[in-house]
Amino acid sequence: MSEHEKLMTKIVKPLSRGQITIPIEFRKKLGIGSNTILNLVLKVNITDSPTSIHYFD
């Protein structure tokens, strides 16, 4: 990543049927509207790992 690039990150949780909501900040930045068709591509880096959330009582 170059020094001029900025990553936008947001943790999202899938709904019960596996759907996820694209955060409004992302939709605005990408110009995604109600009639936008998306082509999703998954790029995996071997060093990536899922985010885990731990709850403590």
Residue 54 belongs to some domain of the structure: no
Whether 20 is covered by a domain: the verdict is yes
pLDDT in tens, 2-56: 677 788 888 899 999 999 999 999 999 999 999 999 998 887 666 666 677 777 7
Determine, yes or no, domain membership for 57.
no
Q: Is residue 7 part of a domain?
A: yes
Per-position DSSP letters for 28-44, written without gaps between them: HHHT--TT---------
- Look at residue 48 in the predicted model and tell me its pLDDT: 60
How crowded is the C-beta side of 9, counted as CA atoms within 13 Å? Answer: 5
pLDDT at 8: 86
Q: How many residues does the chain have?
A: 57
Q: Which domain holds residue 23?
A: 1-49
Angle at 42 between CA 40 and CA 45, to 5 degrees: 155
Residue 31 lies in a domain: yes
0.75 surpassed by pTM: no
- Would you say residue 35 lies in a domain? yes
Residue 29 φ/ψ, nearest 5 degrees: -60, -35
Q: Domain count for the chain, please give it.
A: 1
Cα dihedral: 4, 12, 32, 25 (round 10): -50
Residue 16 lies in a domain: yes
Q: Please check whether residue 18 lies inside any domain of the structure.
A: yes
